[in-house]
Structure 1
Amino acid sequence: MLDKINNDFNINKILLNLHAYRQEILASNIANANTPGHKSSDINFSKTFGKLFSNALQGKKNNLTTTSNKHISNNDNVELSNYDEQTVKNNSYVSKNNAINIDVDRINFVHNGLKYNADVVFINNKFKNIMNVLKG
């Protein structure tokens, strides 16, 4: 019983971490909109989630990479920086020798933030349902 609940929340943890990572990438794109030579990047969300989800189903850990022995190890966290980050192609707006469509990145930023918030509400409702069942 608890394994099913744990697996269910592990999937949600992967989703939230992936949304947060994508938000960082999109924020970087927006922050560097006027940086000469900067190219917009993003991740393929569904492909990356599929990889992380299949790893979770197979019991593989998605470990953080540590660069110092002073780092705290946490085997449950997800290493996202190696997954499918790619330069966005077909940007219609090019300014100051960079390839960033600021409007598209802003829309993606807001859209991703809304998805993150929706996932948090969904998880919160799961907790409420579990608490209602336990109360009887």
Structure 2
Amino acid sequence: MPIGLDKYLGVHAQALNLRSQRTELLAANLANADTPGYRARDIDFKSALAQASGNAKPGVQLQTTNAAHIGPKLVNGAPSPELKYRTPLAPSLDGNTVDAQLEQAAFAENTVRYQATLHFLSSKFRGLMTAITGQ
């Protein structure tokens, strides 16, 4: 009886991809902490994961009626998550909205959650290998 690997892994593979994208965004925010006019960006992880797993709530959807129309932006074959701009707690005079301490905390939390997702995937693969080899 064949089983689809995507179905077996569940949402963890999509979560790992989103966590990776969020890590890149948070790193870019930290790298541009002193850049005048830079606006900190982030992903709403909950809604992005719902969108990636196909459980997104109905809302405004992009619809194309012609093959020549520009479609939604794709990242690795899946729709990219919507980037949101972070609202600063204390705006700076140069227009930069990066709060380094907030970004470092978000980066650390995202790293822990990334590691947890890797652990879940690792145990799924370990269970699959145990079932295949019978050990």
TM-score of the two chains, using structure 1 as the length reference: 0.74
> What's the C-alpha RMSD, in Å, of the aligned pairs?
2.5
**Residue 21 of structure 2 is aligned to residue 21 of structure 1:** yes
Residues 23-64 of structure 1: CA distance to partner in whole angstroms, max 9, x if unpaired? 111000000000000111101000011011017xxxxxx984
Deviates more, 1:9-18 or 1:118-127: 9-18
Asked whether the equivalents of residues 88 and 99 of structure 2 are also in contact (C-alpha less than 8 Å), the reply is no
Asked whether the equivalents of residues 38 and 98 of structure 1 are also in contact (C-alpha less than 8 Å), the reply is yes
Deviates more, 1:33-42 or 1:91-100: 91-100
Q: In the alignment, what sits opposite 1:116?
A: 114
Deviation at 1:84, TM superposition (A): 1.7
Distance 1:95 1:5, change over 3 A: same
**Residue 32 of structure 2 is aligned to residue 32 of structure 1:** yes
Distance 1:95 1:122, change over 3 A: farther
Residues 75-117 of structure 1: CA distance to partner in whole angstroms, max 9, x if unpaired? x64342xx22011114235364311111010111111111111
Q: Give the SS at the match of 2:84.
A: strand
Deviation at 1:10, TM superposition (A): 5.8
- Superposed counterparts of 1:25-104, under 5 Å: 25-54=25-54, 64=74, 77-80=77-80, 83-92=81-90, 94=92, 96-104=94-102
Distance 1:51 1:79, change over 3 A: closer
Deviation at 1:4, TM superposition (A): 4.4
**Structure with more of its chain in helix, by fraction:** 1
Asked whether the equivalents of residues 34 and 96 of structure 1 are also in contact (C-alpha less than 8 Å), the reply is no
Q: Give the SS at the match of 2:42.
A: strand
Deviation at 1:21, TM superposition (A): 0.4
CA distance in 1, matches of 2:128, 2:98: 45
What runs of 5+ residues in structure 2 fail to find an aligned partner?
56-71
Q: How many positions carry a matched residue from both structures?
A: 119
CA distance in 2, matches of 1:63, 1:10: 23
Asked whether the equivalents of residues 14 and 78 of structure 1 are also in contact (C-alpha less than 8 Å), the reply is no
Aligned-pair identity (%): 25
TM-score of the two chains, using structure 2 as the length reference: 0.75
Q: In the alignment, what sits opposite 2:61?
A: none
